[in-house]
Structure 1
Amino acid sequence: MNFHQFLLVLLARKRILLFTLLITVGATMVVSLLLPKTYKGTASLLINYKGVDPVTGLALPMQLLPGYMATQIDIISSKNVALKVVDNLRLAENPAVVAQFNEATQGKGTVRDWLADLLLAKLEIVPSRESSVVDISFKGNDPQFVAVIANAFADEYQKTSIQLKVDPLKKVAVYFNEQTKLLRDSLEVAQSRLSKYQQEHGIVSVDNRLDVESNRLNDLSAQLVAAQGQAMEASSRQRMAEGNAGSDSPDVASNPLVQNLKLSLATAESKLAEMAQRLGRNHPQYESLNAEVERMRRELADGTRVTSNSVSKNAGILQQREGAVRAALAAQKDKVLELNRTRDEMGVLQKDVESAQRAFDIASQRFSQTRIEGQSEQSDISLLNPAVAPIRPAGPKVMLNTLLALFLGGLLGVGFSLLAEMLDRRVRSETDLSDLLQLPVLGSIDWSAPTRPRLNRFKSLLPRSLRLN
């Protein structure tokens, strides 16, 4: 069927089309006029989801997600908010409402849930496209009631939003409080261990004490080196003093007593030699001088022996000193090693204390911040425009319903016309014959139905100016 055939069908079935259109439009207008007037109350909320937290001053990246606005709309239209509206306005305590509930549900369920469902069914939430404003609208027959319900939803949504933010923080604050107590106990245990260890080992300051003992160890090491050198030198002198009766020992040679004795002996021996040339060996003066020389020799030998013995004793003293310094050095090494071990053990205890202190400080800071946030009643939602009782009804819209009825009636009329044509198919043009018989059309006769007598009689009664040819 082409467009020409479609127009011919509509023209032939114009009565069905017009009848359907008139019925649809008429029924719509009658229903629109008979329906009760409905009013719409709207409250506007500003959701500042791109701001910062008024308590902590931190940005809120979670609220910058694309689904944040959709989440807020779901919260507004939640049954939790609707139940709070019912409780706040005490709608379930109205006897008329209770009677309607019993009549509608035969007493099944609760009045609060039934009222919440009814309110949500008439609630409309429209977010703005280019801003953070959300309109909460409620429709009803009473203008005062719709305004009250819209404002109640806006108010309960603000309270619910604060509650949803504060309740988790309160639970977290309780958790942090418990953890803070546990961490405080751990810190006290670590500090007591450190104090007990310091008392047991008599430690006031490990670092300063270790520095003193290390310096003492270095001093003893230097003293040991010096004592070893002195002991080696004394041993060499001792060996030289003991060999050849100490004649080659520089200590013996440099002794003043030995030098004086040697000088006196040399003088006496020279005198004895001179006297031996002049006097005989049996001469009393020669024997007296010879006895003096022997006495000086004995004194020189005694002096040399005493000096050698003093060198040996000095070597023994230096060796003893070396041994004492070596023992003191070994004891100091053990002491420094013990201090190093003590410092390592004390360092572990100090690290335990520092770790416990750090964990306690972090938990205390988070507990303080969470507790402050949990006690905050600040909200990023503010009421922009409260709902007022509307003056004009929002429905029914007679003009809009009529236009929609015209469109719908036209579609129904076209559909019924095509259905009637399919049930009673007729030839409307040459194209219908050509399509039906599959033969070419050679000619057509222009014929019109004769005018009915009643119509001609009616035309004769009309003036000439109103008559149709």
Structure 2
Amino acid sequence: MNIQQFFLILRARWRVALLVLLATVAITVLASLWMARQYTASAALVLDVKSPDPVSGLVLQGMVAPGYMATQIDIINSDRVAKAVVKLLHLDEGTAVRQQWLSNTQGKGQLSDWLASLLQNKLDVKPARESNVININYTGTDPDFAAAVANAFAQAYIDVNLDLRLAPARQYAAFFSEQTQAAREKLETAQKALSSYLQSNGITSADERVDFETSKLNETSSQLTGVQGMTTDSQSKRAQAQSDTVAEVMQSPLINGMKADIARMQSRISESSVNLGSNHPQTLRAESELNSLKAQLDAETKKISASIETTYQVGKRREHELQGALATQKSRVLILNKQRDELNVLRRDIESAQRAFEMVSLRASQTNIESRATQTNISVLNSAVAPNAPSKPRLLINTIVSIFLGILLGVAVALMLELANRRVRTTDDLLELLKMPLLGSVSAASGRLPYTPTGARA
């Protein structure tokens, strides 16, 4: 079928096509007038995706992600928000609504789920182009009810969004609360361990005590060194105790005086022996005095030797005492060092527990504040109001659409009638039908000539 045949068919069957067009428009107009009027209420929400979190002060990167707006629209369309709307408007408390639910579902499922699905069917959520505004549209037969539902969806979305945002914070708050308690108990245990150790060992100030005992050890060691030097000196003098070269003997004024007296007495005896003779009473008396002086000198020398021996023995005993005291002091210092090391370990345990407690406590406080926050990044830009004019049915648009559809339907009916009762309208139809060559064609007469009896033309 070519374009010429198409237009010839339409010209031949235009009445049918026109009838179908008129019928379509009439039916559409009547249906639009018969349909119940629908009212659409719209609430606008704005999402602030750039403001920092009021608690942490950080900008959440998830808010500026490309899919953030789509996620928010899905949340508004979710069953959770719809059920929240049912609760906000108390739709599940009406007796008539319950009877209708029982009639439609025979009591299967939940009333709130059924009402939520009905609300979702008439909900239309659209984001504004190139902005962070979301429009919530709800269509219903009652304009006031439509506005109430749209506002309820906006409020329910804010509540659910806040709950979704705070749910992790609440979980973290509970977790960090338990961890804070555990950290506190660990810190208290470490403090009790340190206190018990100090009490059991009688330690008041470990560092000062160690310093004192160390100083005492050094002092004892110095004393031992001095006594050992004195003992060594006494030992060397002891070996020369019977000699006149000992310093104490050589430096003794008494001994030196006795030696001088002995020298003088010997000189007198020598003179007396020469002058008076060796057996003279004076000479004998002088020799007796000399022997007495020598005996006194030996006695005094022995006293000095005895004192050197005494000094050596005393120094040796003092050396043994200091060695014992030094060993005891070393043991005490080693014990104190070990105690100090154990104290340092206990103190480090306390410091570690203190840091862990402070860190967990800080995090617990932050999550606790976050879990109690009531601020969201969503604000109501425009609340829904009851519309004055219905949004459906749209008589003008429906009429325009029905005209377009009526034209298409009329053309389709004309073509179907033509195919059902085919007519020869052009030479092409004849050639296609008879499959024979065309010899000629007679065009249609524009008018009819008058008839005469002779058959001649006027």
TM range (shorter): 0.7 to 0.9
Show the counterpart of 1:209: 209
Q: Matches of residues 30-49 of structure 1 in structure 2 within 5 Å?
A: 30-49=30-49
Q: Residue by residue, what CA displacement relative to the aligned partner does 1:39-78 show, whole Å, maximum 9, x if unpaired?
A: 2111111222332233444443444444333332222222
Distance 1:239 1:416, change over 3 A: farther
Show the counterpart of 1:50: 50
3-state SS, counterpart of residue 219 of structure 2? helix
Structure 2 CA distance for aligned equivalents of residues 64 and 267 of structure 1: 125
> How far off its partner does 1:444 sit?
9.2
Show the counterpart of 1:379: 376
Contact 1:170 1:374 in 2 (8 A): yes
> What is the letter of the counterpart of residue 7 of structure 2?
L
Show the counterpart of 2:385: 388
Segments of structure 1 that go 5 or more residues without pairing to the other structure are 458-469
Show the counterpart of 1:74: 74
Distance 1:292 1:82, change over 3 A: same
Contact 1:246 1:305 in 2 (8 A): no
Distance 1:253 1:143, change over 3 A: same
Contact 1:240 1:249 in 2 (8 A): yes
3-state SS, counterpart of residue 392 of structure 1? coil
Structure 1 CA distance for aligned equivalents of residues 403 and 286 of structure 2: 174
Q: Which moved more, 1:31-40 or 1:8-17?
A: 8-17
Confirm or deny that 1:300 pairs with 2:293. Answer: no
Show the counterpart of 1:230: 230
| TM score, norm. by length of structure 2 | 0.83
Q: Matches of residues 326-365 of structure 1 in structure 2 within 5 Å?
A: 326-365=323-362
Contact 1:255 1:307 in 2 (8 A): no
Contact 1:46 1:134 in 2 (8 A): yes
Structure 2 CA distance for aligned equivalents of residues 240 and 337 of structure 1: 43
> How far off its partner does 1:94 sit?
3.3
Confirm or deny that 1:111 pairs with 2:111. Answer: yes
Q: Matches of residues 7-406 of structure 1 in structure 2 within 5 Å?
A: 7-14=3-10, 15=13, 18=17, 27-241=27-241, 245-405=242-402
Segments of structure 2 that go 5 or more residues without pairing to the other structure are 451-458
Structure 2 CA distance for aligned equivalents of residues 447 and 410 of structure 1: 34
Show the counterpart of 1:463: none
3-state SS, counterpart of residue 393 of structure 1? coil
> How far off its partner does 1:361 sit?
2.6
Structure 2 CA distance for aligned equivalents of residues 31 and 144 of structure 1: 25
Structure 2 CA distance for aligned equivalents of residues 76 and 307 of structure 1: 116
Distance 1:212 1:34, change over 3 A: same
Structure 1 CA distance for aligned equivalents of residues 263 and 34 of structure 2: 165
Name the % identity: 40
Structure 2 CA distance for aligned equivalents of residues 8 and 313 of structure 1: 156
Structure 2 CA distance for aligned equivalents of residues 236 and 426 of structure 1: 161
Structure 1 CA distance for aligned equivalents of residues 198 and 413 of structure 2: 105
3-state SS, counterpart of residue 246 of structure 1? coil
Contact 2:17 2:413 in 1 (8 A): no
Structure 2 CA distance for aligned equivalents of residues 345 and 74 of structure 1: 61
Structure 2 CA distance for aligned equivalents of residues 168 and 450 of structure 1: 91
Q: Which moved more, 1:105-114 or 1:17-26?
A: 17-26
Structure 2 CA distance for aligned equivalents of residues 417 and 216 of structure 1: 127
Distance 1:256 1:61, change over 3 A: farther
Contact 1:9 1:417 in 2 (8 A): no
Structure 2 CA distance for aligned equivalents of residues 379 and 313 of structure 1: 98
> How far off its partner does 1:415 sit?
7.3
Structure 2 CA distance for aligned equivalents of residues 380 and 354 of structure 1: 41
Q: Which moved more, 1:93-102 or 1:379-388?
A: 93-102
Distance 1:209 1:66, change over 3 A: farther
Show the counterpart of 2:454: none
3-state SS, counterpart of residue 240 of structure 2? helix
Q: Residue by residue, what CA displacement relative to the aligned partner does 1:259-289 show, whole Å, maximum 9, x if unpaired?
A: 1111211121122222222120111111111
Q: Which moved more, 1:250-259 or 1:145-154?
A: 250-259
3-state SS, counterpart of residue 44 of structure 1? strand
Structure 1 CA distance for aligned equivalents of residues 188 and 371 of structure 2: 29
> What is the letter of the counterpart of residue 211 of structure 1?
D
Structure 2 CA distance for aligned equivalents of residues 30 and 310 of structure 1: 148
RMSD of the alignment, in Å?
3.6
3-state SS, counterpart of residue 335 of structure 1? helix
3-state SS, counterpart of residue 207 of structure 1? helix
Q: Residue by residue, what CA displacement relative to the aligned partner does 1:319-347 show, whole Å, maximum 9, x if unpaired?
A: 33322222222111111110111112222
Q: Which moved more, 1:7-16 or 1:289-298?
A: 7-16
Structure 2 CA distance for aligned equivalents of residues 192 and 43 of structure 1: 62
Q: Residue by residue, what CA displacement relative to the aligned partner does 1:397-435 show, whole Å, maximum 9, x if unpaired?
A: 3444455556666666787888899997999798x989x
Distance 1:299 1:88, change over 3 A: same
Question: How many residue pairs end up in the alignment?
Answer: 444
Q: Residue by residue, what CA displacement relative to the aligned partner does 1:182-230 show, whole Å, maximum 9, x if unpaired?
A: 3333332222221111011111111221122222222333333333333
